[in-house]
Amino acid sequence: MPPRHRTRWRHEVASFGYAFQGIREALQTEPHLRFHALATVVVIGLGLWLQVSRHDWALLALSIGAVWTAELLNTAIETLVNLVSPDFHPLAGRAKDVAAGAVLLMALAAGVVGLLVFGPPLWTKLLALRTS
Ligand SMILES: Nc1ncnc2c1ncn2[C@@H]1O[C@H](COP(=O)(O)OP(=O)(O)OP(=O)(O)O)[C@@H](O)[C@H]1O
């Protein structure tokens, strides 16, 4: 491999490292993210137990990824606001509130996906358990 390509390749690997470090640090500092981690495990467990379709797995994967992405972006915005405006400022508050609103919207949408995907098979399973 030519030295120029090797340097670029090392740069790409380092970028992955920084990205994972960002996720690890956010997990350590943000209780919300730890809740998302638990919710992710529960959703994957439910999907396996209820044997949902490939299409439903795709919807669940997108929803999980979108909620994590929204929460990580919210954390990044909060961190930046704390750096730029440690003192009270209405615009700083608005930025944090709008970012939190984005997370809330995504979490609600993911909740709807969860209800639509898990609702019917869970209902069938519970009915079968009651009649057996
Ligand atoms: N510098 C500031 N200026 C004005 N209002 C702020 C400022 N910092 C925070 N606030 C207000 O207080 C609320 C809570 O802020 P905080 O920094 O605790 O964020 P948070 O949304 O509770 O984040 P988390 O719970 O994830 O740490 C914000 O949503 C905002 O309305």
pLDDT in tens, 49-95: 999 999 999 999 999 999 999 999 999 999 999 999 999 999 999 99
pTM of the model: 0.88
Q: Which residue of 96, 98, 103, 104 sits with most ligand 1 atoms within 8 Å of its CB, as the best mutation to test the pocket? A: 96
Residue 71 bears catalytic tag: yes
List of domains in the chain? 3-131 (1.10.287.3610)
- Cβ 85 under 6 angstroms from ligand 1: yes
36 within 8 A of 26, measured Cβ to Cβ: no
Where is the binding site for substrate, in residues? 49-52, 71
* Tens digits of residue pLDDT in 11-38: 888 889 999 999 999 999 999 999 999 9
Return d(Cα 94, Cα 83) in angstroms, integer: 15
Distance from the alpha carbon of residue 100 to the mean position of ligand 1, in angstroms:
9
Quote the mean pLDDT of the chain. Answer: 94
Evaluate whether 132 touches 114 at the Cβ level (below 8 Å): no
- Cβ contacts of 75-84, under 8 Å, gap ≥ 24: 75/26, 75/29, 75/30, 75/33
12 or 123: which carries more pLDDT confidence?
A: 123
Helix (H) or strand (E) holding 43: helix 31-50
